[in-house]
Amino acid sequence: EAGVAQSPRYKIIEKRQSVAFWCNPISGHATLYWYQQILGQGPKLLIQFQNNGVVDDSQLPKDRFSAERLKGVDSTLKIQPAKLEDSAVYLCASSLDLRGNEQFFGPGTRLTVL
Amino acid sequence: AQKVTQAQTEISVVEKEDVTLDCVYETRDTTYYLFWYKQPPSGELVFLIRRNSFDEQNEISGRYSWNFQKSTSSFNFTITASQVVDSAVYFCALSEEGGGNKLTFGTGTQLKVEL
């Protein structure tokens, strides 16, 4: 069974530029999550989708971050404009549903903002 | 609000030693789930175990074992006869039934196993 796929693996941009990350979850997983992991910390949830609807985006900085999951499968996370403090690893995860099932994580995208 | 505390920032052991990673959690829900994930240097989070709040049985999987104690709100992880390949950051995490499966992670424990 294929795992969660993410691209790109690494991205370096200047502050105020925009960037987009892509995620393809495990086939059949209805729930998709985007986490931000700053160096030395645990992952923090940014946004959670159930199929193509948003379940929780309370910690997403909506003035600069946006995410979509149009057909209930792939998802993109965008940052525009980027700030220095956005430097982090962005992790995508998926689970079967919302009922306490384990989440499976992709390899992440390491973003460096200069 | 849910919270997970991993007080041990870094642990160093010599290969073949046993090591226990501590995890203490806070939640107001009666139904919740506890997890352990491993993050090796490659960066990918690897799922190790899931426990629900109604199942306090300890679990053993090879060299790994987990001790869940609701009375002390702890979910500790022990590696027996540690190996160099166990070197990684280990995260404990919590989700609440009423929280839509959102995971709250601890700050992680860096385990270094040396020869």
- On whether any CB of chain A is under 8 Å from the CB of B10, the answer is no
Q: Is the pLDDT of residue B83 over 90?
A: yes
The rounded distance, in Å, linking the Cα atoms of A17 and B72 is 48
Residues B31-64 have pLDDT tens digits of 999 999 999 988 899 999 999 999 888 888 999 9
Q: What is the 3-state secondary structure (H, E, C) of chain A?
A: CCCCEEECCEEEECCCCCEEEEEECCCCCCEEEEEEECCCCCCEEEEEEECCEEEECCCCCCCCEEEECCCCCCEEEEECCCCHHHCEEEEEEEECCCCCCCCEECCCEEEEEC
Q: Show contacts of B64-72: CB within 8 Å, 24+ apart.
A: B66/B36, B68/B34, B72/B24
Mean pLDDT of chain B: 94
N- to C-terminal Cα separation, chain A: 37
Residue to substitute from A36, A101, A103, interface B, most B β-carbons within 10 A: A103
Query: Which of B4, B44, B93 lies nearest to residue A107, judging by beta carbons?
Result: B44
Q: Is the pLDDT of residue A1 over 70?
A: no
The rounded distance, in Å, linking the Cα atoms of A109 and A24 is 13
- On whether any CB of chain A is under 8 Å from the CB of B30, the answer is no
Phi-psi region of B100 (alpha: psi -120 to 50; beta: other; left: phi over 0): left
A/B interface, count of CB pairs below 8 Å: 66
Worst-scoring range by mean pLDDT, A2-11, A98-107, B17-26?
Answer: A98-107
| Inter-chain touch B107–A41, beta carbons under 8 Å | yes
Residues A101-110 have pLDDT tens digits of 889 999 999 9
Chain A CB contacts of B106 under 8 Å are 42
Mean pLDDT of chain A: 94
Band of residue A97 on the pLDDT scale cut at 50, 70, 90: confident
What pLDDT score was predicted for residue A100? 75
Query: What values do phi and psi take at B53, rounded to 5?
Result: -70, -15
What's the whole-number mean pLDDT along residues B105-110?
Answer: 97
What residues does A32 pair with on adjacent strands?
A: A49, A94
